[in-house]
Structure 1
Amino acid sequence: MKQENRSGLQVKDFSFAGELGSEGARIRQVGYNHFKIELASPMHGEGCPNRLQFTIRQNAKGNQLRLDVSYNHTNFMRFDEYFCSWSYDKKTWQPIEWEKDFKERPEENTLLFAEFAEDTVYVGHQVPMSYEDVERVVAALSQNTYVEIIDIGQSLEGRNIHRIVISDGKAGAAEHTHYFAQQHPGEHNAQWRMMGMIEWLLSEEAGCFRKNNECHFVLTMSPDAPSRGWYRANTQFHDMNRTYLVSGSDSERQTHEAWLCQRDLEQIAGHSKLMTVWAMHTWGGKVEMLMRESNDMESKYGSWTLLRDAIIAHDQESLCKPLYSVKERPAEIETSWGYGPFAQFGVTSVLCEGSGSIMTKEKNMLSGKTIIQGLADYFAKNAS
């Protein structure tokens, strides 16, 4: 008979630092394998609570863990709005859901883990992606003949911000350029959505699309955030999707990383045929796409409804809501990356949200593949 680990977990076994951390989190033991965690925020209660991310460094094997988590400040952003994931190797992630519905706004919420089979366990927000993960992805992709890595600059703490460019490699050959970027740190499902796009774009099936289309990806604009568990904000506590200036990038008026990335996008727009800009985010439910379509795109390739239908045709697992147009709506947030490029350049801009209900890396990647396949079909089949 298997023997239970009677020693149990202790506070010293937990770490809130590392590749995936939660700055300021406090933990105390209240029973056998039962702990309470109080989360902090980078603005001492004024900003979003840091996400729950930690490592059990030792002694996890044979133990079943209960965590009661709280954030003792009034804030419209809940710490428990999304699921968490756990892993033994930071590669294969298993989802774990909160015991209570966050919409009920419980004072604390609980995670109940099944018995662990290994001593070391990693826990992160959504399906996490650390800065070090991004660096490993970039290093691997740099070996591909269809990929060019552009270094946009460094964050305030000296971490790299990369742009991944995918094309057939022939300078000036692309008829159109498409740009995808994640603004809000902590919205990791959006990063895996882009990874699904990248994986398909590098496949043989995408060869025709690569000949005429160039795709640019910024997997994160806020590389300083994952090790602290920061959510939505950078080192200067700026909401990274409230940072776009339609009047043009400005190092004095913008937070540092936003200035770097908007300046970089302006350079892309200046030397290529920028057609679409996608701001990649998460909220609850399926993937949801809100489009402000350009007159240029519709005059050449037809109504936005054709793109909607092309994506639906590939969505065999119903991961996405049908794309819809918000072009006629006034901008709710003029400094958002879902609106700014449309106003500044006159290009099609898409706020790509949702996926909070998609709880695996594989399904998030599949949602990205679904979208990029639909985009490819739209441009291939509807040219005037």
Structure 2
Amino acid sequence: MDPTNALPDDAALPGIVAMRALGVTRALGLARALLALGLEDAPVAMNLVGYTPGARATLDVRVGQRRFAVKAYAEDPTPEAILYQALAAAGLSGDSGVRVPPLLAWDRDLRVIVIGWLEGGTAHELVKQGRGQRAGELAAQWLRCAASLPVRLGPAFGVARMLHLAREWVEGLRQADPTLGGAATRLAATLAQAQPREEGPQLVHGTFYARHLLDLGDGAGLIDWERFGQGPLELDAGMFLATVWRLGLDHEALAGEATRAQTALLEGTRDVLDEGALAWHRAAALLRLASKVHVVKRRKADWVARAHALLAEAARLVEDAQQSEPVVPAKPRAFKPRGAALELVLQALSTRPATPEELDQIRKLLDATDDRAS
């Protein structure tokens, strides 16, 4: 059976259109790479594992014994591709330790990237398996790594952006249910009054959900980077904790594991995260999760009570944030003596993968940054 038959018919995704017409390997220009790996005649198996009509699709592609993730977008994925290259240059695309998927190929015209597949269960699954502590430890491991990354790519993701988005979340809740709209309005007003102090931004994932964090055995893995940016690490930590808390809300038997995950994250990041800022971003993340009830087809039977519970927990957290004293955590702040040079190199790679020589140049620039920071 032709695996392309399972692809959606979506004209907004040029990569999917090309794969339906030409097949996966021809459309993505993988023939040369597969030939080098001795896989040119290997059977191709493909499974659609994620799809948002008109926006993006993710494919699990197997060629022989090799496994890839093929991500097709409606928008240009070049920024994400460049990020993968920068993270590889920083040493995060190896075979051990904390890592992200390696970039294998990308096509700007087709708006497709091909990345390696990371094998491992998600933090979401760990909590459900009774291993909440491990989930929290992995999250802390990633956050400690991110605190020292000298990668300055992506748009600003700070408090101002969260407050701007909060207006949309409040409106969605108001339209879904008047009582939810009232609670959300009060919460958003309190968030605006209790804005935390922001230090220098770091690379943030943007959607640091428990299901995006993987247990790779010897380290944490993080996938789905399309919404990355520059902001406080508390933003990512807050979202992780919000998704774990929601898991405990939805499954009462998992509440204890959710608490263990939270405790492990907090214990592993005491010198990295500010407690008050973390409480604020957890509250903002819970508001964001509560607002998802505007998608009618995703509503659970008790969706109103569930959303109220999320908003109540958020209100409690933001009250804690107001009462806590701001603390400047001991985050390693990387200087950028050659930041402009690094940006020029990355801009030059906006249409193609880096050569080994270019990756070496990026590593040297990052090493220079680390030396200055130490």
What TM bracket, shorter-length normalisation? Answer: under 0.3
Q: TM-score, normalised by structure 1?
A: 0.26
Q: TM-score, normalised by structure 2?
A: 0.27
Greater fraction helix: 2
